Every structure is written in C-alpha cells, then in structure tokens.
Amino acid sequence: MAPFHGVALLLLGIGYLLHAEPFYGERGIAFLHLNDDTFGKEEKSQRSTKKTYFSKDTPQKLTVAIGHAAVLLCRIKNLGNRTVSWIRKRDLHILTSMLVTYTSDARFTIVGNPETDDWNLRIDYVQPRDAGIYECQVNTEPKIYRAVTLKVLDIQARITGPQELYIRKGSTISLTCIIELQDLPPSNVTWYHAGAVIDFDGPRGGVSLETEKGKRGTTSKLLITRAQLNDSGNYTCASSKVTPASVMVHVLNGEHPAAMQHGGTGDVNRRLVLLVLIVLIDTMFR
C-alpha cells in the first residue's frame, strides 16, 4: 500500500497547487477533481490582458465651417473595463469621461457605443475658438491617447454687386453667388426668396439656375426673366457649409434715380458725360 500512499500524497500536493479536490476510488487510489473554474480563471485573466489600442481607420484631421457640427471620431479595441476621456489640449480641460460630460458648454456631448467600439466627441454650432487639438485618452498603464485636430473655417457666401438692386419691371433679374470653399469640397447652393426656397419648376416660369463647381469653390447664378412687382424682396444664397449672403431686390414700374441693374447705371453715366461735354464746348467758344 505504500506506493498508493505516495501517489496520493503527490496528487494532494498537485491538487493544492491547482486548487483541485482529491477523491479516492476503489482500492484507495487517489484521483483529482479539478474545479470548473481552475482553468477558467486563467482564461479570463488572459482575456483581460488583451492589448487596448486605437483603430487607425478614423481621421485625425477634421475641417468644419462655422456654425455646423463637428464629430471627432475615436474607435477603441479591447477597451474592457477601462475609461475613455476626451481632453481639450490647449487648456487640458477634461470634456467627457465615458458617457459623462464635464463642461458647462452644452455644445459638447459624447456619442458612445460600446458595441461598435466608438467613443466620439460631438461639438454643435462650432465656433472659431473650438479650433485646435483634442485627445481621446484611455487610462491604461501607461496611458494611451489619439489626437484629433479640428480646423474651423469662416466661409462667407458672397453675392456680387450692391446689397440693394433696383430692377425695371419686365427686365431680367441676374444674381451671382460665389462661395470660396478653401479646404472643403464644392457644395450645393440653395436660393431663397422672402425666406422660401425658390421653385424652378413652379407655375411662374422663367426662373433658371447656372452652377459651376471648381477647385476653388462654387459659383451659382440665378436668372429670373420678365421681372414682376411681386419678384421684389430679399434673395438669399445659402449652402450647408457657409454663412449665407443676401441682397434686396426692388422691381419698379418706372426709372429709379439711383443705379438700376438694367440701364440705370449706363443712363446716369451717359448723362454725366454729356454734361461735361456741354461745359467744355461752352468754355471753348467763350
């Protein structure tokens, strides 16, 4: 029996090391009963030590026009029970930690989705002061972070010519809007009359749009033929990426003493030239 006792003692020692429970079978032969979580704990430990890292498929530079929303992307793999925070680099202000916001500025919110590993920072109504570097941080040891640079553009749409136009009834209203987009791609332009979107297929007819998109921006030309009195009012050129521009149009039955878009300026200039010639001729023959 001595050999059996030796084996039993050996198994007891191994069982102690493995947190296993020994039991004895027939003839006093010792066996080990391993606890269900003996290796489960080791497996869980291995899972918990998986390396946390940032996905590189999200951009680290973002350009947004003033007044629009900016979403700074941060995708983290194997986050586990660690904490994600967004930091504004210029003043080291903690903006968010997980789903909690630590700023009184309600424009900042966190858009977190653990199922997709996304922890994105959203800034509504972006202002010039929001430009700069933001860091998405994870409290690993050592700490890891991913920087995102936000560039804010102050882009103004521009309607060529004076801010008030006087148009003779029956003539053509011609308005040209120029949008220099700088680092942003060309955008669609929408025209409004008195706050309502202009209907190019409406019953009025005679309304058309010419748009040219290039590397430097977008040019949009609005043409309204056979101008009527009810075509008077505010005309606005707007785009999703820029500050809109407006002009006031007055459609008149008769001539206006100030410059008109069609004929007014030329008539004034001709009258001035004629007056100068009369004065010169009168001076020569005195």
Q: How far apart are CA 239 and CA 11, in angstroms?
A: 79
Q: How far apart are CA 62 and CA 160, in angstroms?
A: 30
Q: How far apart are CA 84 and CA 97, in angstroms?
A: 6
166-220 confidence digits (pLDDT tens): 999 999 999 999 988 766 666 789 999 999 999 998 888 999 999 988 877 889 9
Q: Please determine, for residue 267, whether its predicted confidence score (pLDDT) is greater than 50.
A: no
Q: In terms of C-beta density within 10 A (0-12 exposed, 13-18 middle, 19 or more buried), how is residue 260 classed?
A: buried
Which run of H or of E encompasses 41? Answer: helix 38-48
What per-residue confidence (pLDDT) applies to 169? Answer: 94
Instruction: Select the more confidently predicted residue: 44 or 225.
Output: 225
In Å, what is the CA distance from 9 to each residue of 2, 34, 173? 11, 16, 104
Using DSSP bridges, classify how beta strands 70-72 and 158-159 pair: parallel, antiparallel or unpaired: unpaired
One-letter amino acid at 119 equals: W
One-letter amino acid at 191 equals: W
Using DSSP bridges, classify how beta strands 144-153 and 61-65 pair: parallel, antiparallel or unpaired: parallel
Residue 31 phi/psi, 5° resolution? Answer: -125, 160
The domain 53-153: what is its CATH number?
A: 2.60.40.10
* Confidence tier at 112 by pLDDT (50, 70, 90): confident
Residue 10 phi/psi, 5° resolution? Answer: -65, -45
C-alpha dihedral over 270, 271, 277, 280, to 10 degrees? Answer: -140
Q: Please determine, for residue 18, whether its predicted confidence score (pLDDT) is greater than 90.
A: no
The stretch 124-133 carries a mean pLDDT of: 95
Q: Please determine, for residue 268, whether its predicted confidence score (pLDDT) is greater than 90.
A: no
The domain 157-252: what is its CATH number?
A: 2.60.40.10
Residue in this structure with the two tokens 């075509």, named with its chain if needed: 231
- The closest of 165, 161, 75 to 114, measured between CA atoms, is 75
Q: How many CB atoms lie within 10 A of CB 242?
A: 27
What per-residue confidence (pLDDT) applies to 68? Answer: 84
* Inter-residue contact 122 to 109 (CB < 8 Å): yes
* Inter-residue contact 99 to 39 (CB < 8 Å): no
Where along the chain do the CATH 2.60.40.10 domains lie?
A: 53-153, 157-252
Quote the percentage of the chain above a pLDDT of 70: 70
Q: How far apart are CA 143 and CA 63, in angstroms?
A: 27
Which structure tokens are listed for 62?
């973002």
* Confidence tier at 66 by pLDDT (50, 70, 90): confident
31-57 confidence digits (pLDDT tens): 444 454 444 444 444 444 689 999 988
